Amino acid sequence: AELNLLWTEVQREFGEHLKDYRHMFEMILEGEKHVAQSRSNFTACEQREMKVRKELKKAFKKSSTSEIQTLEGRLSQAERAKDLAQLEVTDRIRENEAVKLI
């Protein structure tokens, strides 16, 4: 009877540890998903910036100054968005690495 009680206690502890272990892996997976999302957002911002740069280069050849100024404004917005996306990627990676260390 005592052996059975001990075995039951060991099984219960094992189940608890397994549940904790699974929870940690789920947190890591969620963090990796967030990192992937922020990286794809960064890539999209980078592509937007490159597109505006190309448009601006074309505009210098044949557009008016008001169109060029508009494109320069869009370029600065795209650069800011890219910088913010880069910061988000860095923060998400740090946050995810911290979760892995727990």
Which uninterrupted H or E stretch holds 30? Answer: helix 2-62
Complete domains list, the chain, with CATH: 2-101 (1.20.120)
Residues 6+ apart with CB under 8 A from 99: 24, 27, 28, 31
pTM for the model stands at: 0.78
Using CA atoms, how far apart are residues 42 and 34, in angstroms rounded to an integer?
A: 12
Convert the pLDDT of each residue in 31-71 to its tens digit.
999 999 999 999 999 999 999 999 999 988 888 888 889 99
CA angle 64, 65, 66 (to 5 degrees): 95
Convert the pLDDT of each residue in 68-92 to its tens digit.
899 999 999 999 999 999 999 999 9
CB 8 within 8 A of CB 66: no
